[in-house]
Every structure is written in structure tokens, then in C-alpha cells.
Amino acid sequence: MAGLTLAAVGIVYGDIGTSPLYTMKEVFAPAHGLQLTQANIFGIVSMILWGLIIIVSLKYVTLVLRADNRGEGGIMALTALSLESVSKNSKLYFPLTVLGLFGASLFYGDGVITPAMSVLSAMEGIEVATPSFKPVVVPITLIVLICLYAVQRKGTAGIGKMFGPVMLLWFSVLALMGLYNIIRVPGILAAFNPLYAVNFVIDHHWGAFFALGAVVLAFTGSEALYADMGHFGAKPIRAAWFFIVFPALALNYLGQGALLMFNPAAVTNPFYYQLGAWSIYPLVILSTVAAVIASQSTISGTFSMTKQAISLGFLPRMKIVHTSAKEIGQIYIPVANWMQLFVVVGAVIGFGSSTNLASAYGIANTGTMLVTSLLTFFVIRFGWKYNLLLCVAATFFFLAIDVSLFSANALKFFHGGYFPIVLGLIIFTLMLTWKRGRELVFENLKKHAIPLEDFLASLFVSAPTRVYGTAVFLRGEADGVPHALLHNLSHNKILHERVVFLTLHNREIPWVPFSERIKISDLGNSCYQIDLFYGFKNEPDIPAALALCASSGLIFEPMETSYFISRQTIISTPGGGMARWREGIFVAMSRNARDAADYYHIPSNRVIEVGAQVEI
């Protein structure tokens, strides 16, 4: 438990743990026009403290962590769980799918902003120490980020072991700096009284609403609590929050508030002025390491999200590299890595400072939080069958808060908030297009499919010549006779002595145990239908799965087994099921999809590909 809790401190809380770097600075930024008075300081600190209590402690740690999908968490897992709670014929199925995809798309947008914001904020400490260094802040930030993304292919197994101790040191420093300033102005502890937050809202009206757009920066990263549940479990994440992370964050925000009360000049960057000029460079070093860890958590989360999206049929196959022989969750996806780096570099150069990036930061995170609250309602109401009144009380209170936070950030849409939204909409369009395109392809294949059982019955009336070995034909769930089999019979006039029709089923659960992985149906004449079942966290490996058939008497010798795969060439036709521009996107994605044999770990020397054109 202690080891898992320490690991959770390093992996789960990197993002929210680095929020003290920039939150108070952005709240009192000159552009917001908020005066640095005692009432305002108390009100802002109170809003942050009670936001951490309500949003993180109550919503995520207490409620949302209960909505686990067979132990897994995250927006994709929650989407699958909500879809499982309603039937596919339900009117809610498609809206929930769209809602979940939109939340996942916003997560991608947040995954771009987090590395840029965290590292840039850490590097701005150099500017605080020596103003003449301001021109080098962006170049150094880019160097750090490029190095971070360049080492992703090596995996995080080695440096990951240091995440926990380093972040424990980080939170200890946050707590000690906060205590130091609280002792100097103990009156700041009164900010724990929620009336200061209420009075701030009453006194400032719209001004408080604008301030909320900056206060939300203190809660960014809360979605990671849920996303990483599968790695550690709910108990270590809860323990890390209540005993380490929340006390450290609360003390530091109180300390920054106390600092601003006796040294208003520190408002330009309250974090780096907490201990005086002597501490700035050590804090820059520690902050940079903490920011890299926070970025690493987001990058790893992007890889995991992409893999889940592929398994659920929302993205085409991509190359997935396992960087650890012990941990299946440690993966590297080159396409996702370099595309994300490209956008992150563009964000750093385009925005130029953490203050400019702050406008773009909160909107994606609060959008994902809003989607999480909506999906949680459907899970506890239709999945767990809880009382309607209880479901409304449990989720709509948080939903009202999420709507307020999202609305406050939406006001910054034209000041940078458009960036993650536009990025999210692009990814959302790609995922929805791929999902719909695959459905249209399957419908087309099903329309022209020859029923397999009827075909085999007629085939063995006058059986073709049987040759030595085993032939494995991949066929989709809606397919009839595989095109590769028809091609083989037409041109070679032969049939292998054992024929296997293999169908892969992706289930909307994280893991399918080995005991439920395979289903074998004897079709007669040494022909078999084998169904393989995978969850969205499983690694598809066809040769390894076929080895499980030995317990049923089917033994596959690697050098005697040939795999026949239909290589589909998708062509767009007039009057199709999607707009022509979407069909064009789908065709391009199909052509660039990872080779099926490579993706399913089939030895290339045992693969026979047969081309087939499919209209959409």
C-alpha cells in the first residue's frame, strides 16, 4: 500500500501538483483587473481551497473513482461503461458515444497544453531571477520538451522509479514554503472559511466569474486521478490525495496568499518569491523536474488513450511499441508521440508565455470534467440502478459547478481558448469519421456476403484437393465467406487440410481473461470457426491466442500455419453514407492504417495477402 501510494504521488498527481507554479499569478494578472486587497486574497484562496475539496476530494476521489470499469478508469473506460449500461438499440447509445468521444478529444487537447504550460511556467523562474534571461525562456523550454519526447521510445521504466520520490520531495517543499509564509501571516488561515469565497462572489458579480476562469487552473489534472486508477487502484490514489497532495497544495496556496499580504510586489510570480531571491534557481531546477514528470504523465496518458481508442474502433491501427517486459501499460506510439510534439512546439512558440497559455489551459480540462459528470450519471442510474433522486443529487451538484467552470473559461475562447477546442474538434471528427466509415464498410461487406455455412455445405459436395498444413482466414464479425478463401479456391484450386476462420471481437470492457478469450465452433470437414475476444486494454496477439486452443485439441504449429488476410482498398463512391470530404478522410486513414499482420503480431513470412476493393 505504501509503495503504491508513493507511485501514485509520482504518476497521478504531477499535473495538479504543479498548478501552484502559475495559478495565483494568473488570478491576479493585470489583465484581469483584480485588486490586490486582503478581502480579494482571502476570497481567492478560499475559492481554491474549497474547489479542491468539492471538485477533487468529493467528486473525483469519493464519487468518480467508484465508477470503475473492471478496475479501469478514464474517459474512454467511462464511455464504455456508460454504453454498456444501455442497449445498442437505445436512443441514448449514439448520444453517449458522441459525448464520450468529445470528452476524449478534449483530453487530447489538454494533453497538448499541459506539457507546454508546465515546462514554460517552470522555466519562467529564470526570468524572475534575472530579467535579462527572458529571451531564452522559450528556446530552453523547447529544448526540454524535445528531449522529453525524444526519449519516449526508450520507455519510462527506469526514470519512472524516481517519479514518486521526486514528487514527494516536491510536495514536501510546497508544504514547507507554505508553512513558512503562514507563520509570518497566520491570519490567512481564516481563508478556510467558505464565507470569504461567497462574499467575494457577491461583491464582484461578473468579476468573480472572470476570476473563476483563472482559479480553475488549480484543479487542472484532476481527471488524471480517474484515468490512472487501473495502474494503482482507488485506495492508493485516495491515500496519496488526503495524506500528501491535498495538505501540501492547501498549505502552499495559503502561503502564497500570506506572501501577497505582506509583499504585494511578489504578485508578478508569487511561487518563486515565497522564500526570497536565494531560492529561485534551486526552485527552477526542482520545478522543471516536477513539470517534466507532469508532462510525462500526460504523454503516457495520451498513448494509453490512443490504444484504447484503437481497440474500441475509434482510430485506425497504429504501431504500438511495448517499452517494458514487465508492465503491459508502458507503451510508445510513434505517430501519437511526434504529432503531439509538433502541436506542443507550436503552442509554446505561438503563445510565448504561461500567461497567454493560461487562457487555453482551463477550457479543455473543464470540458472533460463536464463530460465525466454527465457520463457518471448514466452509469450510476442505468448501470448500477440507483434511485433517480440519489443519482441527481450525486451528480447534478457537481454538474452545476462544472458548467460554471466551463462557462467561465469559455469567455476566453477568443483569447487562446479556441486552441484546445479546435484541436479537440479535429480529433473528434477523425474518430467519429473512422467509426462511421468502418460501420459503412461492414454494412457493404454484409450486403454482398455469402453465408459461410451454406458455402461450406456446397463446397464439400465435390471437395477440392486438400493440401498439407493449416490455413487461417481472418473474417470480420459481419463477413460471410472471406474474400481470401474465394481467391485461393479460384486461382489455386486447393484447400488446406485444416481450415480456420478467425474473427476478432472487441468488447467494451478493459480486460478479457484467458479463460474467456477463445470460442471454438466445429464446422465439419476439419473446418473451424474461432472467435477471439479482447478488451480495450488487452494486447491483440493472434499467434499467442491460437496457442490457447491446445487445451481443446487444436494445436497450431507455427511453420505449418498460413494466415490469409484480405487487404481492403477503400474507395469513395457517390451517394455514400457520409459527406464526400469525410469519405476522403476515411480513405486516407485506411491507407495509412498499420498493417494488420504486424498489428496482430503475425509472423510476416506466414502471411498471404489478397487484395479486395470495398466501396463506402
- Among 254, 240, 219, 226, CA closest to 53: 219
Q: Output phi, psi for 609, to 5 deg.
A: -95, 140
Is pLDDT of 269 > 70? Answer: yes
- Most confident range (mean pLDDT) of 331-335, 384-388, 528-532 is 528-532
Let me know: does 569 contact 611? Beta carbons within 8 Å.
yes
Question: What is the dihedral sign for C-alpha 109, 111, 115, 117?
Answer: positive
Q: Which three cell numbers stand for residue 484?
A: 481470401
Instruction: Provide DSSP, 202-251.
Output: HHHTHHHHHHHHHHGGGGTTTHHHHHTHHHH-HHHHHHHIIIIIHHHHHH
Q: What is the mean pLDDT of residues 216-243?
A: 83
184 band by pLDDT with thresholds 50, 70 and 90 = very high
Instruction: For residue 187, give the 3-state DSSP assignment.
Output: helix
Average pLDDT across the chain, whole number: 86
Is pLDDT of 71 > 80? Answer: no
Q: What is the mean pLDDT of residues 313-338?
A: 80
Q: What is the pLDDT of residues 533-591, one digit of tens each?
A: 998 878 888 999 999 999 888 999 988 999 998 777 777 766 667 888 888 888 888 88
Is pLDDT of 56 > 80? Answer: yes
Question: To the nearest 10°, the Cα dihedral for 591, 595, 596, 600?
Answer: -150
Q: What is the mean pLDDT of residues 460-473?
A: 91
Is pLDDT of 484 > 80? Answer: yes
According to the model, what pLDDT value does residue 156 have? 61
Q: What is the mean pLDDT of residues 340-346?
A: 93
**Strand pairing class (494-506; 321-322):** unpaired
According to the model, what pLDDT value does residue 446 have? 79
Q: What is the pLDDT of residues 102-147, one digit of tens each?
A: 888 888 888 888 888 888 888 888 887 777 778 888 999 999 999 9
Distance separating alpha carbons of residues 384 and 504, to the nearest angstrom: 29
Q: Which of 66-75, 151-160, 520-529, 602-611 has the lowest mean pLDDT?
A: 151-160
Is pLDDT of 6 > 80? Answer: yes
Q: Which has the higher per-residue pLDDT, 612 or 309?
A: 309
According to the model, what pLDDT value does residue 327 have? 55
Let me know: does 495 contact 526? Beta carbons within 8 Å.
no
Let me know: does 509 contact 570? Beta carbons within 8 Å.
no
24 band by pLDDT with thresholds 50, 70 and 90 = very high
Q: Find the helix or strand (DSSP H, E) in which 89 lies.
A: none
According to the model, what pLDDT value does residue 615 have? 67
527-534, strands of its sheet edge to edge = 518-524, 527-534, 494-506, 465-474, 561-571, 607-615
Question: What is the dihedral sign for C-alpha 201, 206, 207, 209?
Answer: positive
DSSP state of 382: I
Q: Which three cell numbers stand for residue 184?
A: 509570518
Instruction: For residue 611, give the 3-state DSSP assignment.
Output: strand
Is pLDDT of 598 > 70? Answer: yes
% of the chain exceeding 90 in pLDDT = 28
Is pLDDT of 416 > 90? Answer: no
According to the model, what pLDDT value does residue 574 have? 64
According to the model, what pLDDT value does residue 337 have? 92
According to the model, what pLDDT value does residue 164 have? 83
Q: What is the phi-psi region of residue 613: left when phi exceeds 0, alpha when psi lies from -120 to 50, beta otherwise?
A: beta
How large is the C-alpha radius of gyration of the chain? 27
Distance separating alpha carbons of residues 14 and 20, to the nearest angstrom: 11
